[in-house]
Amino acid sequence: MNTREPKLLKHTYYSSLPVTCVSLRDIATLFAEASVSKSSSHSMLKVSVKWQKEVFSSVEIDTTQPPYVFKCQLFDLTGVPPERQKIMLKGGILKDDGDWSKLGIKEGQRLLMMGSSGEIPQAPEKGPVFVEDLPEEEQEHAALGHTAGLLNLGNTCYMNSTVQCLHTVPELKNALKKYSGGGANELDTSSHLLTLATRELFSELDTSHRAVAPVRFWTVLRGKYPQFAQQTNTGMYMQQDAEECWTQLLYTLSQRLGVTDDDRTSAPTLKELFSLELASRISCSESGEEATEKERVYSLKCHISHDVNHLLDGLKLAMKSELEKVSPALQRSCVYIKQTQISDLPLYMTVQFVRFFWKRESNQKAKILRKVEYPLLLDVFDLCTEELKETLKVPRQILRAEDDAKACLRKSKEMDVDGPGASSAAGDSTGSGQTPAHQKVTGYYDLVAVLTHKGRSADSGHYVAWVKQESGKWIQFDDHQPIPQKEEDITRLSGGGDWHMAYILLYKDYIFELQQTGSLIWISCGNR
């Protein structure tokens, strides 16, 4: 009988997962790579495990971790997946979420394991996969035309919902595919690794018919941003704010994508995709002072008060604020009025509902439950500067002239695009060259993703993504479970109770495209 010394997997706490869906190699890698210092209070046992004709001696059990971790160690030794393992104990079989303190395992005890390893799965060769060749349970998902779900690795719904919403942006996926990391700052390896992990995760979502375990992405994200590695006293990873995850991920990708591409039209930067420019006028009625400033942001904020019932109300409320600062003219503190407008539009507009505030009594982020309705088609024309409004007039007139808004394609009679006012539509419309000359933003935005929160605190509760597919159908991504939804269900996520309510909205600009052929111009209207 052969006896082998096992390799001990150093691991962190890992919550119980649906075993049939988890990528076991990824989990084993996570446990092997994570370095956690163990305190003296941790209880370690050494046992031997008999499997077929082999005996594995000195297999260490950390009784502070669930038995599933021990099964992952045995998987690394034997190749037997945890779902096939039957570890015989006195009085029954070891369960994944069992309590070691109640099982009576003793130092040096021999355990019997049954199960067949079979052939180690290999990565499939590239080639066509037909729906009828898929297992029955996978055919339904493939027929629906949506991508895979993401397994919850233990309070990671904030991360899963963020990834699913951003995954709906094709330009972002294309930019990630072209990313090589060449010429990048070698000192910022964590950003490079997170970008690579995002690219790999997006690819897995596009090719897998089963739920994906985002282990590598989660590990790299926690390495880059330690706040996402916070743990409770029991060792569980804590729930985090999805908006913070969204912001940090976009910031990292904005530092990496499109930097080394010469053709910016084919691989736009994150700035071109998501950032908008705000122009503010700051004035003081007492001193008569007035100043202007501009800034680039990656989202609009919707402030919520007793008077806010609609998204546009909240956006307008956020664009007018009072500041108190020292006046250079009066040499004392004065109140200034800050009035903000949009001076440059992105291809994708992110809107965050400011639903959370710090509550001193409970020492946590409390939630504003007020119902705030939002449209499927958002028009931001009234929020723009006068200069930007002039730029948007021609594209908006062309859109209104379309007879078939659903098909969004028709042949027009010859148009004088060089006439008065049209030069702004055919040239650099936004002042920053964000879109190609033949593609023009309109100020109309189509809703393509909603990130919702259910619960009373940003650091607890549950986050879910609701994503519009290319077919026009909506899918609710509740972690690993994709659920088809009707369009009317999306507008019901506006709040007013403890149900899922919109926290982040992602809108896609409704653009038009001019293609001149001879004396005819094709006008293709729609969102990218």
The span from the CA of 60 to the CA of 50, in Å, is: 14
Nearest residue to 144 (alpha-carbon basis) of 482, 406, 450: 482
Q: Which two tokens stand for residue 457?
A: 């605190």
Would residue 462 show up in a list of annotated catalytic residues for this protein? Answer: yes
Burial class (CB in 10 A: 0-12, 13-18, 19+), 86: exposed
Phi, psi of 45 (to 5 degrees): -125, 150
The span from the CA of 182 to the CA of 251, in Å, is: 19
Q: Which two tokens stand for residue 268?
A: 């736009």
Would residue 42 show up in a list of annotated catalytic residues for this protein? Answer: no
Q: Which two tokens stand for residue 128?
A: 């066509």
Q: Tell me the C-alpha to C-alpha distance, in Å, between residue 256 and each of 187, 273, 342, 352.
A: 13, 14, 26, 24
Please give the distance of CA 36 from its chain centroid, rounded to a whole number.
Answer: 27
Nearest residue to 516 (alpha-carbon basis) of 437, 429, 402, 450: 437
Whether 445 contacts 453, CB under 8 Å:
no
Order of all β-strands in the sheet with 320-327: 290-297, 276-283, 332-344, 320-327
Q: Which two tokens stand for residue 186?
A: 């070698």
What are the DSSP calls for 454-476, one per residue?
Answer: ESSBTTSSEEEEEEE-TTS-EEE
Neighbours of 132 (CB within 10 A): 7
Residues 6+ apart with CB under 8 A from 226: none
Burial class (CB in 10 A: 0-12, 13-18, 19+), 329: exposed
The pairs formed by 188-195 with CB atoms below 8 angstroms and a separation of 24 or more are 188/255, 190/220, 190/223, 190/224, 191/224, 191/252, 191/255, 191/256, 192/256, 193/220, 193/223, 193/224, 194/220, 194/221, 194/224, 194/249, 194/252, 195/252, 195/253, 195/256, 195/257
Selected catalytic residue, list 72, 157, 284, 302: 157
CA torsion sign for 16, 18, 24, 30 is: negative
Residues 6+ apart with CB under 8 A from 522: 409, 411, 412, 514, 515
Nearest residue to 94 (alpha-carbon basis) of 54, 53, 59, 119: 59
- Residues involved in catalysis: 157, 462
